[in-house]
Amino acid sequence: MADEKKLFTVTIDNITVEVEPGTSILQAARKIGGDVAPPAMCYYTKLKDSGGKCRTCLVEVAAGSAADPRPMPKLVASCRTNVMDGMVVKNITSDRVIDARNGVVEFLLINHPLDCPICDQAGECHLQDLSYEHGKGASRYEFKRRTFDKHDLGPYIQLHMTRCILCYRCVYTADQVTNERKHGILMRGDHSEIATYIEKSLENDFIGNVIDVCPVGALTDRTFRFKNRVWFTKPVDAHCNCDKCSGEVQLWMRGDEVLRVTARKDEWGEVKDTSKGETGWICNTCRFERKNASDWIIEGPSQINRHSVISQGHYENAVKPNETIKKVMGGRDPKLLMNIKDVSEVNQVELSEIKGAATSESFKQLKKGN
Amino acid sequence: MGRKLLLDKAHIEGIRHYDVYRREGGYRSVEKALKTMSPDAVTEEVKKSGLRGRGGAGFPTGMKWGFLAKPEGVPRYLVVNADESEPGTFKDRYLMEFIPHLLIEGMITASYALGSNTSYIYIRGEYWWVKEILEVAVQEARNAGWLGKNILGSGFDCDIFVQPGAGAYICGEETALIESLEGKRGNPRIKPPFPAVKGLWGCPTVVNNVETIAAVVPIVNDGGDEYAKLGIGKSTGTKLISACGNISKPGVYEIEMNISVEEFLYSDEYCGGIANGKKLKACIPGGSSVPILPANLLLKTAKGETRMMTYESLSDGGFATGSMMGSGGFIAMDEDQCVVKHTYTLARFYRHESCGQCSPCREGTGWMEKILLNIENGKGKMSDIDLLWDIQRKIEGNTICPLGDAAAWPVAAAIRHFRDEFEWHVTNPADALKRNYGLANYEKPLEIAVAAP
């Protein structure tokens, strides 16, 4: 029994949970799950030293520990504060926390372009979720928003600095997952930006993972840009034999087309561990080059949170409906008045075959090619 | 005439150089400490002296030294924070420019107490000429055998390096300073761990202000008890105050912390009153980050007591009616100054100097600046004042480092005490562009609330 580790008891929003010493408040709250888990925009479990920056995960510590039950005077960042035995934490039960969190969301949004209708991240954007929960219908900000030019960071990644919330996740990813970081933060304050200084391209076998860790649409996949909304695509788990990475990925398909390849993510939007227990970062070849269904061994539909907009496309246990018109028409075929394919070029092309972003020009060219 | 401990010899011809400094009794504290005292005894003297950090927070120095972790086989570091960039504060520059050996002497003694074999002076990049003065002084001390291996045959090794920053206010925050010293981007670290446990290169580190380290010299020379006799209560010793603004004699003054604000401001020994026969409207007693006070609250506390130049008295009444000693940047403003414009200037400064790491400070400081500029230009709305209040409230306390607080406090205090001036700017936009609100009632004695019997 002496070997058994002593667990810390921590109470979060009146729910008590036992965790190992050294666990952060955020991880303890995630163990409870649901609303109790504070939102996290910059913290990423798999990235060392991340967190503490966005301030959305602030919580109130009503009692520091059983030994020293004094409350902490300031709200603390739950992602970077470790639990103590007997700690009492208030998250959604604290008005102070909700007030501060609403404030942080307002700050994050004052310079955000709110261009969700044309943003590839919409539907899987953490800032979108956060704004639904804590944002207001109207902004009190009356000034011009901060803008930046778009930059292509090489052939695969595009940077929309205007959307960035400076979570630093991509910086840590480049530091810890790739073997050389070529981008970083330039300038300071509200004019700081993610940049490569002189527009260099980011080239590294694993650099594509910065797209997965980006909580907003600041870093997007150029091979998927404008090809589809995520909620129209079907996420399926698939794998391949890859000599660079585990090859365990999530394919985002429409019909039999593979529109996008990403790492598999858990319920907190973070990259899952592979079946071998390693972090499931995937290589650029898997992410950007293997866009044929035949490249992959498909395992089955991915589990998607039923509250997510992505689960709007119900496809599990889907049964193709029978053709009913012929039946009610007494055996006659319906008369086709207008074929959509004659009207719209969009429906004639295979989206995955388009090189780069899908624009009206690329559709026209494809049509000519046909 | 108050006693001077730091600047009493600052104006002797040639004191900037080793020979004169030594002739005037310099480096006695190093001799005394290394030959007759143990490191812990030096720390004990500093504890006894009641010396408090002179950089702004006023944390007891002896206690800070006591917190330093001392694991076996891990180097410890002393870093002197000479990144003095607070608007209104220029006392450290004065000290380093005129009597650089005092800082080096204090550093050797402090390094001995803390067990630091390599100590750094992190100096603000804009002080490039001061850096050159310090480097000459360090070399002189090295040549004279006060730095290097086995100093005075005591077996203690110490060397000092001067490292300039690149001109960022945020690098005055101790963890940002350490990051910058390590050659990284000067972003404040998330605490804990505190530098006393994991600081420079992950080793235990003490970061002290220039003036704090200089004060170690008289403490070791005369003893901590002797030092503690100066001043009032927990505000022991002398403090350098850099006085500026609309006063007759701006400059750096060393005061014993037992004089009143009124004496400091109006006596000929110090500021010599408000320049050109004008009247005092407002004052920031401790550098731009601390709350601004109207004249009536500056000289007397809300309880009607005389306000003294001490840590406790300046903060009497909390933020509702008090301010802070801060870093000692005493900024006086006469009746012709506009508080709205002044607050805008500070907001612009903090917006420019925010590191941009955490959201409330990065976005909030810029928002406050824009609103204040609107009000100053006569484009403000009444609701803007409440909006400003709400923004500062949501920045304060929710950021990684105290820069967020430092940006929020001046705005909060300006609205708290000068709300009618803000409102006048909104209701009289045309007037506000042409003239100032003036003195108004800010000088009239306040009615003192009497507790109900």
A138 contact B CB<8A: no
Cβ atoms of B259 and B2 closer than 8 Å: yes
Kindly determine whether residue B394 and residue A80, on different chains, have CB atoms separated by under 8 Å: no
Query: Across chain A, what does the average pLDDT equal?
Result: 87
Least confident among A330-339, A351-360, B47-56, B267-276: A351-360
B237 to A356, B31, B54, B234: CA distances (angstroms): 70, 22, 11, 9
Residue among B418, B413, B419, B423 nearest B392 (CA): B413
- Chain pair A-B, CB pairs under 8 angstroms: 88
What confidence tier does B448 reach under pLDDT thresholds 50, 70, 90? Answer: low
Which of B356, B364, B367 faces A192 most closely, judged by CB atoms? B356
How many CB atoms are located within 10 Å of the residue A163 CB? 24
Chain A residues near residue B168 by CB distance under 8 angstroms: 188
What confidence tier does A1 reach under pLDDT thresholds 50, 70, 90? Answer: very low
Euclidean distance between CA atoms B87 and B245, whole angstroms: 11
Which of B356, B387, B399 faces A190 most closely, judged by CB atoms? B356
Chain A residues near residue B364 by CB distance under 8 angstroms: 107
- Which residue would you say has higher pLDDT here, A316 or B297? B297
Kindly determine whether residue A104 and residue B170, on different chains, have CB atoms separated by under 8 Å: no
To test the contact with chain A by mutation, choose from B85, B170, B363 the residue with the greatest count of A C-beta atoms within 10 A, namely B363
Chain B residues near residue A143 by CB distance under 8 angstroms: 367, 370
Question: pLDDT at position A370, please?
Answer: 45
Nearest CA in chain A to B350: A189
Global pTM?
0.89
Cα dihedral A322→A327→A329→A331 (10° resolution) = 110
Kindly determine whether residue A189 and residue B351, on different chains, have CB atoms separated by under 8 Å: yes
B85 pLDDT higher than 60: yes
To test the contact with chain B by mutation, choose from A78, A80, A190, A197 the residue with the greatest count of B C-beta atoms within 10 A, namely A190
A344 pLDDT higher than 70: no
To test the contact with chain A by mutation, choose from B354, B398, B401, B403 the residue with the greatest count of A C-beta atoms within 10 A, namely B398
To test the contact with chain A by mutation, choose from B171, B359, B387 the residue with the greatest count of A C-beta atoms within 10 A, namely B359
Kindly determine whether residue A58 and residue B398, on different chains, have CB atoms separated by under 8 Å: yes
Q: In a 10 Å sphere around its CB, with 0-12 CB exposed, 13-18 middle and 19+ buried, how is residue B195 labelled?
A: buried
In A162-201, the residues whose Cβ lies within 8 Å of chain B are 165-166, 168, 184-185, 187-192
Chain A residues near residue B352 by CB distance under 8 angstroms: 189
> ipTM of this predicted complex?
0.89
Chain B residues near residue A58 by CB distance under 8 angstroms: 398
Kindly determine whether residue B366 and residue A188, on different chains, have CB atoms separated by under 8 Å: no
Runs of H (alpha helix) within B6-127 = 18-23, 28-36, 39-49, 61-67, 91-98, 100-114
| Model confidence pLDDT, tens digit, residues B153-172 | 899 999 999 999 998 999 99
A335 contact B CB<8A: no
Question: pLDDT at position A255, please?
Answer: 79
Q: Is the peptide bond before B71 cis (omega within 30 degrees of 0)?
A: no
| Model confidence pLDDT, tens digit, residues B359-407 | 999 999 999 999 999 999 999 999 999 999 999 999 999 999 999 999 9
Kindly determine whether residue A108 and residue B399, on different chains, have CB atoms separated by under 8 Å: no
A144 contact B CB<8A: no
Query: Across chain B, what does the average pLDDT equal?
Result: 92
Euclidean distance between CA atoms A341 and B392, whole angstroms: 57
A64 contact B CB<8A: no
Which of A51, A58, A190 faces B362 most closely, judged by CB atoms? A190
| Model confidence pLDDT, tens digit, residues B93-151 | 999 999 999 999 999 999 999 999 999 999 999 999 999 999 999 999 999 999 999 99
C-alpha distance from A74 to closest chain B C-alpha (Å): 6
The phi, psi pair for B305, rounded to 5°, reads -85, 155
Question: pLDDT at position A364, please?
Answer: 67
Spatial neighbors of A170 by CB under 8 A, at least 6 apart, are A183, A194, A210, A213, A214, A219
Euclidean distance between CA atoms A69 and B130, whole angstroms: 48
**Length of chain B in terms of residues written:** 453
Chain B residues near residue A56 by CB distance under 8 angstroms: 359
Residue among B175, B184, B238, B237 nearest B207 (CA): B175
Three-state DSSP at B130 gives helix
Chain A residues near residue B353 by CB distance under 8 angstroms: 188-189
Chain B residues near residue A103 by CB distance under 8 angstroms: 360, 393-394, 398
A346 pLDDT higher than 70: no
